[in-house]
Amino acid sequence: MAKKTAKPQGKEAATPAKPRRKRLSPEERRAQIVAAARSLFAAEGTDNVSMRKIAKRVGITQAAIYQHFENKEAIFFVIIEGFFSDLLAALEAASAKETEPLHRLRSAMRAYIEYGLSRPEEYRLVFMTPMSGLVRAGLAVPRTDEARQTPSKGSLAFDVLDRAVRDVALAGRTRFANTDLLAEAVWAAGHGIVSLLITHDQFPWADRAAIVDFQLDLVFRGLLHDNCPMRKQIAGLS
Amino acid sequence: MAKKTAKPQGKEAATPAKPRRKRLSPEERRAQIVAAARSLFAAEGTDNVSMRKIAKRVGITQAAIYQHFENKEAIFFVIIEGFFSDLLAALEAASAKETEPLHRLRSAMRAYIEYGLSRPEEYRLVFMTPMSGLVRAGLAVPRTDEARQTPSKGSLAFDVLDRAVRDVALAGRTRFANTDLLAEAVWAAGHGIVSLLITHDQFPWADRAAIVDFQLDLVFRGLLHDNCPMRKQIAGLS
DNA sequence: CTCAATTACCTAACAGTGTTTATTTAAGGG
DNA sequence: CCCTTAAATAAACACTGTTAGGTAATTGAG
C-alpha cells in the first residue's frame, strides 16, 4: 500500500473494478501455492482438488501456477518432501526418548502410526498412491544402491526404523537374524493399521488407541526371544 | 451373419461403411462391459481407464454404457462383488485344508495375502481407495449391526478370518482374550504386506515369498501363548 | 529519470474426463 | 405390417490438466 506512483497505466485509462494484477516473487508464490494445495488436500482429499481450486485460493489463474511448477505432481512432490521431513523429525524425537533398544523401536513405531493417522491425506498420497517416479523420489532405493545421491528424507526416515530394528537384534532381544526382513515386517504391520484405519473409517473398528496398542503388543511379542525376560513386561492388554 | 433381410434402411440408402448398430440383451451387454472394464483395469490401472475406453473395447459408444450402469462406480461395484466372491472362496478353501485351528488361521492368512497380490488393481480398488458408499457396500458393518440384510460377500470373507481367530482362542492357543482386536490386528498385518508390495514395487524388497513367510511367523509367534508347545513348530526362518 | 529487457500473470484454447439430453433405429408383439 | 419399447447414438455439458501467446508489472542499465 501507499504506492501512489500514478503511472500512465497503458492506454484506455482505468477500466473500473479491474483487480490490479499483483506480482510476487517466485518464492512467495511457490509458498502460497504449496500452502493452499496442502490445506485443500487435507480438507477435501487429494483427488477433489484441482489446479483451478488451488489457483482460486491463492488468488491467481490456474495457468499462472505453471510458471512456478511444471505440473500437478511437482506440487505433490514439495508437499511430500515436507511430509517426510516432519516424519523424520517425529521418528527421531520418538527414538531419542528411549534408550533401551526394544522400547526405542516401540516408541518409533507408535510415532509412525500416530503421525500417519494425524495426516491421513498426505499419508495416502505418499504410501498408498501409485505415482510414476514420485514415491520413488521420496523413498525408494534406501539401502542397496551405492550411488549415495544425498539420501532423501524418506530414506532417512526408513533408516531410523532400520537402525532401531538392528539395535534390537544387536542387543540379542530377537531370534530373527535377518534385520532387513524384520524391519520390513514391522513397517508393514504399522502401515497396515494406518492404511486400514484411514481408508475404512466405516468399518466397526474397536477403539483406535486400543488397536494401536494391540498391534504393537502383537508384533513385539512376536519378535522377542522365547526366553527374553522382557516378555512379561509387554503390556499385552485386552 | 447370413442375415440378408434387405430392409428399406431409412432414407438415404446405404451410407457406405457405416457399422450397423447391433442390439444386445441387457444381460449380455452388462457382462461385456464388466468383462472389458475388469481386463482394462488389470492391464492399465483403475485410473487410466475411461468410460470411452471401455465402450470402445465393447464396440459401443460411451453413452450407451449409461443404459446399463448408473455411473462408473456401478461398474466398480460389480467388479468388487466378483472380487469378494472369489476372495471368500479362496479363504474358505484355504481354511478347509487345515483342521488344527492355528494352522487353519495361518493358511487363511496366507491365502488372503496371495490372493491380494494376484489381483493388485482390484485389491487397490477395494481396500486402498476411498469411495463413498462403495467399500461400505462391500465390506462394512459386518458384525455390530442387527439388520442382517443378507450379509455381503465382503463381510462373509471377514467372517472367515474372524471365525478362524476365534477358534484359535477357543483352543486356548493365544493369551489375547479380545478376538475382535486380534482379528483386526491379523488382518492389518496381512493387509500391510499386500498394500506395501502393491504400491511400492520400486522399493528394494526382499524376496516376496520370504516376506510373506516372515510376516506370518512374526504374527503367529506374537499371538501364541508363552508356554504353547507349538511355539517351536513355527518356522521362524531367516 | 527513462527506456529496454525480463517474466509473472492473464486470456483463450486444447484434449481429455464423467455424465446428460434428445434423437435415431433395431427388435418383438399385436 | 405397423407400432411400441428401449438399446444405441450424436451432441452437448461442465469439469479436469496443460499449453500458446499476449499483457503488463518489475528491475536494472544508461
B56 touches strand C (CB under 7 A): no
> How far are the Cα atoms of A32, A62, A63, A65, A66 from residue A69, in angstroms, in the given order?
12, 11, 10, 6, 5
Task: Say yes or no for a CB contact (<8 Å) between A180 and B215.
Answer: no
Q: Residue B196 in contact with residue A187, Cβ under 8 Å?
A: yes
Q: Bigger pLDDT: B237 or A198?
A: A198
Alpha-carbon span B11 to B25, nearest angstrom: 27
Q: Bigger pLDDT: B12 or B101?
A: B101
Identify the weakest region by mean pLDDT among A166-170, B32-36, B230-234.
B230-234
Residues of chain A with Cβ-Cβ distance to B238 below 8 Å are 176-178, 181
Summarize the confidence of residues A25-30 as an average pLDDT. Answer: 90
Whether A137 shows a pLDDT value over 60: the answer reads: no
Closest Cα in chain A, distance from residue B101 (Å): 18
Quote the pLDDT of residue A10.
Answer: 34
Closest Cα in chain A, distance from residue B202 (Å): 6
Residues of chain B with Cβ-Cβ distance to A159 below 8 Å are none
Quote the pLDDT of residue A195.
Answer: 96
Alpha-carbon span A80 to A187, nearest angstrom: 19
Quote the pLDDT of residue B136.
Answer: 54
Size of interface A-B (CB pairs under 8 A): 170
Q: How confident is the model at residue A12 (pLDDT cuts 50, 70, 90)?
A: very low
Summarize the confidence of residues B72-86 as an average pLDDT. Answer: 94
B49 touches strand C (CB under 7 A): yes
B61 touches strand C (CB under 7 A): no
Closest CB to A189: pick one of B189, B202, B204.
B189
A67 touches strand D (CB under 7 A): no
Choose from A38-47, A143-152, B24-33 the range with maximum mean pLDDT: A38-47
Q: How confident is the model at residue A175 (pLDDT cuts 50, 70, 90)?
A: confident
Closest CB to A199: pick one of B130, B142, B210.
B130
> How far are the Cα atoms of A168, A172, A221, A232, B187 from residue A227, in angstroms, in the given order?
15, 11, 11, 10, 27
Summarize the confidence of residues A201-222 as an average pLDDT. Answer: 90
> How far are the Cα atoms of B133, B138, B139 from residue B126, in angstroms, in the given order?
12, 8, 9
Whether B5 shows a pLDDT value over 60: the answer reads: no
Closest CB to B141: pick one of A188, A204, A215.
A204
Residue count of chain A, please give it: 238
Quote the pLDDT of residue A206.
Answer: 84
A67 touches strand C (CB under 7 A): yes
pLDDT tens-place string over residues A71-100:
999 999 999 999 999 999 999 999 999 999
- Share the mean pLDDT of chain A: 83
Summarize the confidence of residues A159-178 as an average pLDDT. Answer: 92
Q: How confident is the model at residue B51 (pLDDT cuts 50, 70, 90)?
A: very high
Alpha-carbon span B54 to B33, nearest angstrom: 7
pTM (2 d.p.): 0.87
Beta bridge partners of B114: none
CB-based burial, B177-197: b 16+ in 10 Å, e otherwise: eebbbbbbbbbbbbbbbbbbb
- Which of A129, A152, A212, A215 best tests the B interface by mutation, with the highest count of B CBs <10 A? A215
- Share the mean pLDDT of chain B: 83
Question: Stated in angstroms, how far is A23 CA from C21 C1'?
Answer: 44
Q: Bigger pLDDT: B96 or A132?
A: B96
Q: How confident is the model at residue B222 (pLDDT cuts 50, 70, 90)?
A: confident
Summarize the confidence of residues B16-34 as an average pLDDT. Answer: 77
Quote the pLDDT of residue A134.
Answer: 56
Find where cell 523424520 sits: A88
pLDDT tens-place string over residues B101-153:
999 999 999 999 999 999 999 999 999 998 755 555 555 444 444 444 578 88
Question: Stated in angstroms, how far is A31 CA from D26 C1'?
Answer: 20
Q: How confident is the model at residue A108 (pLDDT cuts 50, 70, 90)?
A: very high
Question: Stated in angstroms, how far is B41 CA from C11 C1'?
Answer: 38
Q: How confident is the model at residue B22 (pLDDT cuts 50, 70, 90)?
A: confident
A166 touches strand D (CB under 7 A): no
Quote the pLDDT of residue A143.
Answer: 43
Alpha helices in A150-207 (DSSP H): 153-170, 179-199
User: Which nucleotides of strand D are protein-proximal, with an atom < 7 A from a CB?
Assistant: 6-11, 15-21, 23-26
Residues of chain B with Cβ-Cβ distance to A226 below 8 Å are 226, 231
Quote the pLDDT of residue B205.
Answer: 86
